Chains A and B, each alone.
Chain A
């Protein structure tokens, strides 16, 4: 095992515990009435958390797949559970994304949250820390603890600050994700007992026979498929998105959905490669259904948030497709195409994090002013909000996968790789370019263009400086990665290469020790 214990600053622990402790402090020591104070404190804490990512990024060595910034100390000694953290190419970009989104949602909740402000801000700080924990955990039980604990603040965010049907939505959200994850827990316990270790890397090299692999694969699949979410277990997402406050939707779409895909890369593929291979075609079919069928569902939505929620499911279908394409590609020794597929999938995860977050923020901007998400209540907004129209146009285009935006890169790479497997797969996945353009731009046209018919639309104010700042920072990222995707591809390259060459090697035949 090439994990080394470094005596540097524990950046990962800081990324997890600084926002958590800051959130707890906010919750208990800042009064409900001190709205401004809690907002500024939350902003400072989330900004400091984001700054912790800078040394992490600078000191990260992208040339190795090994875990870096490893921290390890004994936690639950009797059952061999350790407080074990570390990042590789798969987790680092997601941690940076999480910390970035943490700042965005803090600023986004500045005006529209009026009651229990300290609690709202605290919930998002806790969320940021716990989600960083999910991506940084190198011990399965620690991973599970963060994975579950994170549901609590999200449950409260939707339930307290959500829309009229919030109670139904939030309980559905919690139960759906919980039922998926408990099965994963049993699988993790089983593997932990067999390997006599709960370290994820030890589980990845543990030999498992085929019938067990099937069971474990399904236990993982249910957990991750609910999170992503994949058709047909996606129904909690539109409800949760519609009812959640803007900040909640942003975190859900930008980060929580990525955890399912992260789980595939970290758990399913390396731990049960043979079952993953066996079921990969099924997963591809589910991904196509998500892309095509959910795309059609998105077109007919009347509620803007629901529309974006469905489009998220369709976009995440690309991630699943990219990940499970690698099996067909690797068995035909098309390693380069497999790398492109995985990179595309991963890029799509990060890019969708920014784009969907931005889309929900744009809808939040409109909702704050009109208190309606119905497309039919709008029309001609571009006439009164020209600055907003520009930003919204950019993000809509990105959502539709326009070249030049980050939305294009990931989808294009996955489609390219899919062509190597079968042109038909590629073509059906490619329909998304038409469908996404249809539902996003049609929504954009109905909301933004045309004559101002409603009196309420006529008096709308354009973006405030605060809103411009948020949207601008997201726009810069979306364009930057659209034109220059290299940073993310470089960060993940070694991890992906290792995953494809060693991680998914069959566990049924003894292939010896895999080295790159």
Chain B
């Protein structure tokens, strides 16, 4: 036994130290704005992202008795989710400062959630995966409940906790069955054991529980009920976070389990995610039409988006998987921009924003009206915005694998989706303002929103940049 090599774990160790450091800084700082915590968090996260980007592994490798897997896929997902998290922190800070519950714990919780996500995407072992998932979920329960005086927030936290616990229970039950059948917990070992198993039906049974748990976390129909309530009830700062980066991490989990571990059971899980994906696209898009609350609208559109994403995994092959990865990363970028704009528009007296409140935004503040339209057009998949390209890739992967009927279904529902996105643009530009807008006064959020929304256009003009990474992850 040689000495234990710690380099592959360095980013995770750094995150752990960073989280503790932020807690310490919080303890000794007297600044009410918690400026120092904020700076430490952001610099730390960016530093770790840079470290990851400069130390991309050449080939996949399993460490620590095959419990921890480092490959290009995991490292790229980590970079993406850290960048998205830093954006979410910029937006979130402004929101909670305005609501007077700004505490150092917010930053620490974000960092621990990021740590959980990093472990999740690097898990090479069912227990590591579960550990990462639980770390992520627990920090999020705490974050949602952070605004103590807000009963809606507490309700959302309880809802999220109960449904999340059920989902975790499902996954854990599936894991225990798998362990019982194969005697293995390492993903590679399980994949090998499944290939020669004498109980394929039992393995499929266990796998169904795991798929259900993952669908819960992604918010796919029929496990989507929690999502709109939680998005709406949580403080917008937290919604921004839970709607974006965790999707990337859970996507990582999905690929690790379905594509890498259960590859021999593809025929068994394909119908499951097909039904989930088709229903998510249909129900997400249709129900979104009826929403009057911007956060709920984005929640239902998120359900639909995850439906499109999962169709990429359904289509399979390196094109399908990279398309799904491309989709989830760009979705996270769009959704942070969307919620960031809601934060920017939130006057302090309001807990959340209804659709009517953005009436006439384009007239009162043309720049941010335009930015909001960018987000909506991008989500609708109108070129030249970035949202078009991952959709194109999903359709291409479907057609490539012979599922052109599915592609037709998906594009028709993207027309339904367009309808409610256009309605938001209609409110921004065509309706007269009903009240004076009181934007949040913060230079950093203005800068971040502009950067985030312009990125939607610029990455749309040079679509290859992100997609190239997604292709690398699956070759």
Residues of A that sit less than 8 Å from B by CB:
32, 75-79, 119, 141, 144-145, 148-149, 151-152, 155-156, 159-160, 166-167, 170-171, 174-175, 178-179, 182-183, 185-186, 189-190, 192-193
In the assembled complex, the Cα of A166 lies from the Cα of B431 at a distance in Å of 11
- A-B pairs, 4 with minimum CB distance: A182-B411, A145-B383, A179-B415, A159-B430
In the assembled complex, the Cα of A274 lies from the Cα of B464 at a distance in Å of 36
Closest residue of A by beta carbon distance from B319:
A79
From known contacts A186-B399, A186-B411, infer whether A149 and B383 are also in contact, taking CB-CB under 8 Å. Answer: yes
Given the complex, which residues of B lie within 8 Å of A183, measured CB to CB? Answer: 408, 411-412
Checking A32, A119, A185, A193 against B400 with a beta-carbon cut-off of 8 angstroms, the contacting residue is A193
Checking B388, B411, B418 against A175 with a beta-carbon cut-off of 8 angstroms, the contacting residue is B418
The reply to whether A186 and B392 form a contact with Cβ atoms under 8 Å apart is no
The reply to whether B383 and A193 form a contact with Cβ atoms under 8 Å apart is no
Having A171-B419, A193-B400, one finds 19 other A-B pairs with CB under 8 Å, namely A75-B464, A76-B389, A76-B464, A78-B471, A79-B393, A79-B396, A148-B383, A151-B382, A156-B429, A159-B426, A167-B426, A170-B430, A182-B414, A182-B415, A183-B411, A185-B411, A186-B395, A189-B395, A189-B407
| Contact count A vs B, C-beta below 8 Å | 85
B 386-430 to A, binary, CB cutoff 8 A, 1 in contact else 0? 001100110110011000100110011011001100110110011
Checking B384, B399, B419, B422 against A155 with a beta-carbon cut-off of 8 angstroms, the contacting residue is B422
Q: Is B251 an interface residue (CB 8 A)?
A: no
The reply to whether A167 and B430 form a contact with Cβ atoms under 8 Å apart is yes
CB distance from B474 to the nearest CB of A (A): 12
Given the complex, which residues of B lie within 8 Å of A155, measured CB to CB? Answer: 422, 425
In the assembled complex, the Cα of A175 lies from the Cα of B463 at a distance in Å of 25
Given the complex, which residues of A lie within 8 Å of B444, measured CB to CB? Answer: none
Q: Is B467 an interface residue (CB 8 A)?
A: yes
The reply to whether B415 and A189 form a contact with Cβ atoms under 8 Å apart is no
In the assembled complex, the Cα of A179 lies from the Cα of B415 at a distance in Å of 6
Size range of the chain B interface in the assembly: 20 to 34
CB distance from B342 to the nearest CB of A (A): 22
CB distance from A500 to the nearest CB of B (A): 31
A interface SS class: helix
A-B contact pairs, 20 of them (CB 8 A): A75-B464, A76-B464, A78-B468, A79-B392, A145-B383, A145-B384, A152-B377, A171-B422, A171-B423, A171-B426, A175-B419, A179-B412, A179-B415, A185-B395, A186-B407, A186-B411, A189-B395, A192-B396, A193-B399, A193-B400
Given the complex, which residues of A lie within 8 Å of B426, measured CB to CB? Answer: 159, 167, 171
From known contacts A78-B467, A160-B429, A175-B415, infer whether A189 and B396 are also in contact, taking CB-CB under 8 Å. Answer: yes
CB distance from B292 to the nearest CB of A (A): 17
In the assembled complex, the Cα of A170 lies from the Cα of B430 at a distance in Å of 10
CB distance from A118 to the nearest CB of B (A): 10
Given the complex, which residues of B lie within 8 Å of A151, measured CB to CB? Answer: 382
Given the complex, which residues of A lie within 8 Å of B382, measured CB to CB? Answer: 148-149, 151-152
CB distance from B433 to the nearest CB of A (A): 14
* Most-contacted residue by chain A among B407, B411, B419 (CB, 10 A): B411
The reply to whether B467 and A76 form a contact with Cβ atoms under 8 Å apart is yes
Given the complex, which residues of A lie within 8 Å of B395, measured CB to CB? Answer: 185-186, 189
CB distance from A138 to the nearest CB of B (A): 17
Given the complex, which residues of A lie within 8 Å of B464, measured CB to CB? Answer: 75-78
The reply to whether B384 and A178 form a contact with Cβ atoms under 8 Å apart is no
From known contacts A76-B463, A185-B411, infer whether A144 and B396 are also in contact, taking CB-CB under 8 Å. Answer: no
In the assembled complex, the Cα of A170 lies from the Cα of B422 at a distance in Å of 10
Given the complex, which residues of A lie within 8 Å of B408, measured CB to CB? Answer: 183, 186
CB distance from A406 to the nearest CB of B (A): 35
B 21-55 to A, binary, CB cutoff 8 A, 1 in contact else 0? 00000000000000000000000000000000000
Closest residue of A by beta carbon distance from B423:
A171
CB distance from A43 to the nearest CB of B (A): 22
Given the complex, which residues of A lie within 8 Å of B414, measured CB to CB? Answer: 182
Given the complex, which residues of B lie within 8 Å of A170, measured CB to CB? Answer: 430
In the assembled complex, the Cα of A186 lies from the Cα of B402 at a distance in Å of 12
The reply to whether B430 and A189 form a contact with Cβ atoms under 8 Å apart is no
Given the complex, which residues of B lie within 8 Å of A145, measured CB to CB? Answer: 383-384, 388
CB distance from B458 to the nearest CB of A (A): 13
CB distance from A198 to the nearest CB of B (A): 10
Given the complex, which residues of B lie within 8 Å of A156, measured CB to CB? Answer: 429
Given the complex, which residues of A lie within 8 Å of B425, measured CB to CB? Answer: 155
Interface residues of B in 83-139 (CB under 8 A from A): none
In the assembled complex, the Cα of A42 lies from the Cα of B414 at a distance in Å of 35
Given the complex, which residues of B lie within 8 Å of A79, measured CB to CB? Answer: 392-393, 396, 467
The reply to whether A160 and B400 form a contact with Cβ atoms under 8 Å apart is no
CB distance from A47 to the nearest CB of B (A): 26
Given the complex, which residues of A lie within 8 Å of B411, measured CB to CB? Answer: 182-183, 185-186
In the assembled complex, the Cα of A79 lies from the Cα of B412 at a distance in Å of 23
In the assembled complex, the Cα of A418 lies from the Cα of B464 at a distance in Å of 49
The reply to whether A182 and B412 form a contact with Cβ atoms under 8 Å apart is yes
CB distance from A128 to the nearest CB of B (A): 16
The reply to whether A186 and B404 form a contact with Cβ atoms under 8 Å apart is yes
